Amino acid sequence: MSRRIEFSPIEFSPAALGDLVDLYDYIAWRDGAERAIATIDRPEECCRNLSVFPERGIRRDDRR
């Protein structure tokens, strides 16, 4: 019997997307587009992986 894994879609808020764009622009200006893409890919991929592993990480009830 195979087990079906449910994935929850990950959506970035407009503010989060704006932050990623601003960060990209800054890094691209300082260090080039290739470095900016590599830098942005890491946190974006981590966030997208939450759809596969939603319980990943440390729970922070003091943050809301």
Per-residue pLDDT of the chain (64 residues; tens, 9 = 90+): 566 666 667 788 999 899 999 999 999 999 999 999 999 998 888 888 777 776 666 777 776 6
Q: Is the dihedral of CA 13, 27, 56, 63 positive or negative?
A: negative
Cα torsion through 44, 38, 30, 17, rounded to 10: -20
Rounded to two decimals, the pTM is 0.65
Nearest-angstrom CA–CA distance, 46 and 43: 5
Tokens of 27: 């890094």
Q: Which two tokens stand for residue 54?
A: 């939603």
Torsion of CA 47, 53, 56, 62, to 10 degrees: 70
pLDDT of residue 63: 67
